Structure 1
Amino acid sequence: MTNVAQVIHDKIEKTIFTIRPESTVLEAITLMADKGIGALVVTQDEKVVGIFSERDYTRKVMLMERTSKETTVSEIMTAKVLTVTKSTSVEDCLDLMTDRHLRHLPVVENEKLVGLISIGDLVKAVMDDQRKLIDQLQQYIAS
């Protein structure tokens, strides 16, 4: 089974977009819109302190009638961030994301952010593993 290190290696877009906790929500959603992404890792001094997602915006700004210009990311980010390491298996990540209803997982090594994986990245990895297994079985049957 593939692990997170392989998923990160195989990603086409390897840039990790981050934002500071004191940034405004408007800055965060503008960056997300510009980059076509659904979440930002919130970092301070290279350490993960939260994650800000489209869900945070819709549930904690729009529905609570806050303003994006005046609300800071730290006020509405998810502060209890679950992280994984490069050695975590894809299966364990999928279990965690399914159980906790997550779409993104920061990858941390030695308390430093080294990647961000999405549910889509993991599904692709599982599909690739299955394709390889099917190919191997077909070759075995054919020989």
Structure 2
Amino acid sequence: MPVKDFMTKRVVYVSPETTVAKATDMMREQHLRRLPVIENDQLVGLVTEGTIAEARPSKATSLSIYEMNYLLNKTKIRDIMIKDVVTVSKDANLEDAIYMMMQKKIGVLPVVDHGQMSGIITDKDVFRAFLEISGYGVEGLRLHLLVEDRVGVLESVVRSLTSENLNIKRLLVSERDSGKAALDIQIDGRTDVETLRQTLSDQGFEVEAIHKTETKAIF
């Protein structure tokens, strides 16, 4: 799963000469928490809510509102931006990008190749990717099975579902401490839930849950 399939491609950015006040307005109006800083088509920095907060005068300041606004309108992004920006390639695996974000304790990675920025991947993009990969928001049935962790078990499950004329849309596998595997399956097809539960149980599969799912938009 490459980063390019999940990154945000339409990126809002600022220049180093943008004022802090202007950047603050842009972030508030577009509900953003960070902005890449671009100069001559090159990524040169990153500004976040945190860096902007640090640039603001302390609440204990004796400055008037007028003076504070004047200061923010004079301060440039180049004076407060993060210059050592961690980036990722568009061809990198999404898992590697997530690992980098966790390791560096950051919520954003500009996507840069050969000095050119083609997008940005954020924690919100990661959440959206998980929902898409798991099949969340797809109409059908969500099936949770507990099976033996052995060769051929997936083939048996697939055969059982296709025999019921059910199409597998998504399949996630996780290990259990008991030496078994948990299967989370999103399936497309009309069938009676209880009939399917009984069919799978008769074939030796432990059915943890089956429930119907509805179409939902992923923002």
Residue 60 (structure 1) aligned with residue 59 (structure 2): no
Alignment of 1:28-43 (within 5 A): 28-43=23-38
Identify the structure with the greater helix proportion.
Answer: 1
> How far did residue 34 of structure 1 move?
1.7
Alignment of 1:1-143 (within 5 A): 2-8=1-7, 14-63=9-58, 67-131=71-135, 132-133=170-171, 134-135=184-185
C-alpha distance in structure 2 between counterparts of 1:33 and 1:70, whole Å: 19
Contact 2:134 2:186 survives alignment (8 Å): no
> How far did residue 127 of structure 1 move?
3.5
Among all aligned residue pairs of Structure 1 and Structure 2, give the percentage whose two residues are the same amino acid: 24
TM-score, normalised to structure 1's length? Answer: 0.82
User: What secondary structure is seen at the aligned counterpart in 1 of 2:5?
Assistant: helix
Q: For structure 1, which segment, 97-106 or 58-67, has the greater mean C-alpha deviation from structure 2 after superposition? A: 58-67
Q: For structure 1, which segment, 52-61 or 80-89, has the greater mean C-alpha deviation from structure 2 after superposition? A: 52-61
Contact 2:112 2:118 survives alignment (8 Å): yes
C-alpha distance in structure 2 between counterparts of 1:33 and 1:123, whole Å: 22
Q: Point out where structure 1 has 5 or more consecutive residues left out of the alignment.
A: none
C-alpha distance in structure 1 between counterparts of 2:26 and 2:38, whole Å: 15
Aligned length: 137
Deviations 1:1-56 (A, max 9, x none): x2211103xx5xx4211111011101111111121111111010000000011111
Matched residue type, 2:42 = K
User: Moved runs in structure 1, 4+ residues, more than 6 A?
Assistant: none
C-alpha distance in structure 2 between counterparts of 1:32 and 1:112, whole Å: 23
Identify the structure with the greater strand proportion.
Answer: 2
C-alpha distance in structure 1 between counterparts of 2:134 and 2:57, whole Å: 41
Higher relative contact order at CA 8 Å, sep ≥6: structure 1 or structure 2?
Answer: 1
C-alpha distance in structure 2 between counterparts of 1:23 and 1:49, whole Å: 13
- Give the root-mean-square deviation of aligned CA atoms: 2.7
Matched residue type, 2:130 = V
